[in-house]
Amino acid sequence: MEQIEEKIRNLKTSEDIIKYIKESTFDSPDMVYREINVLNDTIYAVYNEAMTDTDIISNFVVKSIISISDDYKKEMQLNTITNELDNYIDSNLKVDKSKINKKQRVYDNLNKKYQDKEINMDDIIDALSKKISISKVKKIDLSSEDIFYYIYSGFTCIIYNKDILVVETKGNIDRAISTPMTENTIKGPKDSFTENYQINLALIRKRIKSEKLVLDESKIGRRSKTKVGVLYISDIAKGELVADIKKRLKKIDIDAILDSNYILEILESSNKSAFPTMISTERPDLVSLYLLEGRVAIVVENSPLTLVLPAFMEDFINNMDDYYQKSQDVTITKIVRYIAFFITIFTPAVYISLITFNQEAIPTELLLSFVSQRKGVPFPAFFEAILMILSFEILREGDYRVPNAAGNTLSIVGALILGDAAVSAGIVSPIMIIVIAITTISGLMFPDINMSNSLRIWRLVFLIFASLAGLIGVGVATLFLITKVSATSSFTKPYSYPVSPINFKVLKDRFIKRENVSEVKYRERMLTNNITKYKVNRSNNS
């Protein structure tokens, strides 16, 4: 590090800086060095061909710099002086030759002054601002700022003597805004985040047009130098929460941040629970809603997923589309969703308990049906369940990984093997296929991959307890689950809120129905000190 600083201090000319860049980039073939001749002097333009738009550089930046000499000519009025000399000679046929020579000497002296005029960066900045509207033009100090960060961020470096000017000339290497891929919406907005950092910020700011929406930006990663933005509404979010998040981000020391999940994993390193304690979403409307509640969003460059924290368990069960439907209609959907949550965890374990340990709890006719279906199956029920769960998980993972064209083939083959061939061969019973199918389908109601993974883990935990002690084991596993969720926190906030600590008003709003408008609406004290949300006078709307 000291050697690099010493090398930078010894850079005295443009040529020294160009040599330093070439040596540092190992003469990379995608680095371009252009010489621009202005006023009998040379200005260098350095940029990375892969990261920039060469049309902008050629048609605007280079031409703007070349135009500096024309501007100087106009300032010195050389054309006017020349015309005056010509007019003087034409109008004075018998003019004294010495006077003409005197006029000529004036012209020559001014022209020499023009030729000897020295360029400075202020003239280049002025020329660029007149010729093109560029979002970012900045003069940098090589000793305190990293020139390679700007080069590999799509900037063109204008170098003259020891002065360096960076001009934003980024190429369009990002995909367009598309519909959400993992969080489908029926009636809500269809736009989603992309890998472009600025676009992601814009998608949030177009929904919250307030000066109170604060962006705190930093660069994380020794080599990637990834931009990470912390977004919050200053008069809603709690100051101690924002300070805690900034403090944790500053402590991150890593080679590269390639996606927001790197940040998520680092910040969740103290979380010993399988359940996720941070929300990862591609929907800007959901992030905007959470910001208005007092939460904090983390936008990461090159990632289509934005992080929101703190998070509660019910956030992963509820859905943003609940806001876009009538509250009465949403109530039934919510009930189904919570039933599915318990089905995907408990169903295999309860079946194993009943068929293995607690047959007396099953009605006689149903028990006889189970026995007849299991006749000829060589494996115990626990092993049978594990085999089927593993098969379904392999199919699901395969469906995620294979190209779309092969997805249908995989589904058909999987259905034939699991649904027909396995039963015909006597490897598994039909009732076990029904149990695992219902379990898997119920788990699909929770699209967040981190929540899906946690449900897999707890499903396995319940299976193990059920295979050891039947329904008693299921009861013990349930107590273990409740204890674990109650002990989990998300940035000092209880993960089980609003069940524990209990808040009946929030329970009614989130577990029964969710309203957008009521007589008086308040934010939750758990997230903010600014609890007044809005007030609606219905008498004026009648």
Q: What digits encode the pLDDT tens for the residues 257-314?
A: 999 999 999 998 777 888 999 999 999 999 999 999 999 999 999 999 999 999 999 8
Judge whether residue 464 has pLDDT over 70: yes
Average confidence (pLDDT) over 229-242: 94
- Under the banding of pLDDT at 50, 70 and 90, the label for residue 438 is very high
pLDDT for 254: 93
* β-strand partners of 219: 227
In tens, the pLDDT along 126-135 reads 666 666 555 5
Judge whether residue 350 has pLDDT over 50: yes
Share of the chain above pLDDT 90, in %: 41
Lowest mean pLDDT among 205-209, 273-277, 491-495, 502-506: 502-506
pLDDT for 538: 52
Who has greater pLDDT, 420 or 498?
498
Lowest mean pLDDT among 8-22, 106-120, 500-514: 106-120
Indicate the residue type of 287: V
CA end-to-end span of the chain: 71
Mean pLDDT of the chain, nearest integer: 83
Average confidence (pLDDT) over 460-473: 94
Spatial distance between the Cα atoms of 105 and 92, rounded to a whole number of angstroms:
18
Spatial distance between the Cα atoms of 163 and 57, rounded to a whole number of angstroms:
19
Are the CB atoms for 322 and 330 separated by under 8 Å?
yes
Displacement of CA 300 from its chain's centroid (Å): 4
Spatial distance between the Cα atoms of 408 and 68, rounded to a whole number of angstroms:
63
433-to-99, 407, 458, 475 alpha-carbon distances in Å: 111, 21, 20, 24
Lowest mean pLDDT among 133-142, 325-334, 405-414, 466-475: 405-414
* Local structure of residue 132 (DSSP, 8 states): -
Lowest mean pLDDT among 234-243, 347-356, 384-393: 384-393
Lowest mean pLDDT among 64-68, 112-116, 409-413: 112-116
* β-strand partners of 296: 309
Lowest mean pLDDT among 251-255, 282-286, 537-541: 537-541
pLDDT for 542: 40
Q: H/E/C letters for each residue in 449-515?
A: HHHHHHHHHHHHHHHHHHHHHHHHHHHHHHHHHHHHHHHCEECCEECCCCCCCCCHHHHHHHHHCCC
Average confidence (pLDDT) over 46-56: 92
Who has greater pLDDT, 81 or 206?
206
- Under the banding of pLDDT at 50, 70 and 90, the label for residue 478 is very high
Q: What angle do CA 396, 269, 228 make, to 5 degrees?
A: 90
pLDDT for 244: 93
pLDDT for 262: 93
For 267, counting Cβ atoms within 10 Å of its Cβ (0-12 exposed, 13-18 middle, 19+ buried), the class is buried
pLDDT for 186: 82
pLDDT for 407: 58
Spatial distance between the Cα atoms of 297 and 307, rounded to a whole number of angstroms:
6
Average confidence (pLDDT) over 329-349: 89
Judge whether residue 52 has pLDDT over 80: yes
Are the CB atoms for 396 and 410 separated by under 8 Å?
no
- Under the banding of pLDDT at 50, 70 and 90, the label for residue 69 is low
Judge whether residue 226 has pLDDT over 50: yes
Residue 13, helix vs strand vs coil: coil
pLDDT for 422: 73
Who has greater pLDDT, 227 or 539?
227
Judge whether residue 441 has pLDDT over 80: yes
pLDDT for 302: 93
Q: Which residues have C-beta within 8 Å of that of residue 166, sequence separation ≥ 6? A: 136, 137, 138, 139, 140, 147, 150, 155, 156, 157, 158
pLDDT for 273: 83
Two tokens, residue 133: 């509207």
pLDDT for 541: 47
pLDDT for 5: 74
- pTM, 2 dp: 0.84
Judge whether residue 93 has pLDDT over 50: no
Are the CB atoms for 295 and 308 separated by under 8 Å?
yes
Which range in 160-174, 368-382, 394-408 is most confidently predicted, on average pLDDT? 160-174
Q: H/E/C letters for each residue in 76-114?
A: HCHHHHHHHHHHHHHHCCCCCHHHHHHHHHHHHHHHHHH
* Local structure of residue 379 (DSSP, 8 states): S
Average confidence (pLDDT) over 241-247: 94
